[in-house]
Structure 1
Amino acid sequence: MTAGQTAGVLGANRLAVGPGRDGAEPHYHALSTEIFYVLDGTLEFLLGDRIETVAAGALVVVRQRLPHAFGAAAGTVAELLAVLTPGVERFGYFRRLARVQHGLEPFGGLRAEQDRYDVHFVDAGHWSSLRAAR
C-alpha cells in the first residue's frame, strides 16, 4: 500500500527475507516512525547500538531518527509487515533496492535519494560485526 493510496497517512509493505539475509542496511528516518510486525520466522533488529531477536507475532516500533536495520536469523525465512507513518512515497525506493540486491545497480545510487525517500543510511560496520558474531 503506497502513501499515495492513504493520502500520506502511512505506507505499508510486506517483505520476505531469506535465511540469514539482511532486509535493510542500517538507516534512520528523519520524518517518520516505522512499525514492524513479524508475520513468520525470526528477525534480528539493530535498534541503535543493540540487536534484538524477535519471532513471529512480535511488534517492533522504531521512533524517528533511531538507526535501525533488520535481517532474518540464520536458518529461517522471515516475513514481516513494515508500516511507515506518516507515509513517504517509497515505491521507487523499493524498486531500486531490488535492483541493488540483484546486482543490477550499485548501492551508492540509493544514497543520492536519501532525502527523497527519507531513508538516511548510517555506517553498517557495527551491524555487520554484530550479525557475524551471532
Structure 2
Amino acid sequence: MTEDKYAASHPSVPDQALLTRCEEAETCSDPSSVMTLLGESDSHNGGFTSYRSTFAKGAVGAPAHFHTKATELFIVISGSLRVLVGEEVTVLNAGDFLAVPPHTPHAFAAAPGSEADVVFVFTPGMGRFDYLRLLSRVMRGEADPKEIAESSERFDNHYVDSPVWRAALADTA
C-alpha cells in the first residue's frame, strides 16, 4: 500500500474508531526487521501510534533513547526482546508487557539467538509513522542517517549514550 493511499484511508480524526486489516497495513522493512504500521491518531484525547515489529535473530531494534512526551508500551507476541530501561537490561518474553514513561532512557533488540515479534504503542500519538518510514530508508541505505538526528524534536526521539547498553550488545557480538 502506498503512503498516500494509507494516509487517505487512515485519517487522524479525533474520536473515530480505527480498524487496520493486517493484509492492508503498510509495511517498512530492512534486512533485520519488518515494521507493520497499525494505526495512529493525533486526536485531542491524546491519540496514539501503534506498530508491530518482527526482528530477525539477535537484530538490534533501537539504540538508547528517550521521549519527552510519550509513554512507550511494549507487548511481546512471540520470541524474546532484550531491553534497556534506565540502567537495567532485562529480557521480555512472549506475553510480557512493558510501559516506559517519558524521560526514561531505553533501548531494545531481539535477545541473543532469538527472534522477536513485538507490538509498540506510543501515547500520546504524534504522527510517528513518518519516523518509521525514515528509519527504514536509512537502514536500507536510501537516506542519510543525519536525517534521524535532525528529526529528534519533530518525532520526540532523543538519542543518548548508554555504556550499559553498549556493554550488553558487546557481550553478544
Same fold (TM over 0.5): yes
2:107: which partner in 1?
69
2:53 matched residue in structure 1: 15
Q: Choose 1 or 2 for highest CA Rg.
A: 2
- Tell me if 1:127 matches 2:165: yes
Partner of 1:41: 79
- 1:117 corresponds to 2:143: no
CA drift of 1:102 comes to 1.3
Highest RCO, 1 vs 2 (Cα 8 Å, sep ≥ 6): 1
Cα 1:112–1:42 shift into 2, 3 Å: same
Alignment of 1:73-84 (within 5 A): 73-84=111-122
Number of positions where the alignment pairs a residue of Structure 1 with one of Structure 2: 134
Q: Over aligned residues, Cα RMSD in angstroms?
A: 1.7
Counterpart contact for 2:82–2:109, Cα < 8 Å: yes
Structure 2 counterpart of 1:54: 92
Within 2, Cα distance between the matches of 1:130 and 1:7?
38
Instruction: Report if the CA contact (8 A) 2:58-2:111 is conserved.
Output: yes
TM norm structure 2: 0.72
**TM-score, scaled relative to structure 1:** 0.91
| Distance across 1 between alignment mates of 2:98 and 2:44 | 22
List, as ranges, runs of 4+ consecutive aligned residues in structure 1 with deviation greater than 4 Å: 4-8
Cα deviation, 1:67-113, whole Å, max 9, x if unaligned, reads 10100012211010000011110111000100111122232220100
Q: Which segments of 5 or more consecutive residues in structure 2 lack a partner in the other structure?
A: 1-38
Counterpart in the other structure of 1:94:
132
Identity over aligned pairs, percent:
34
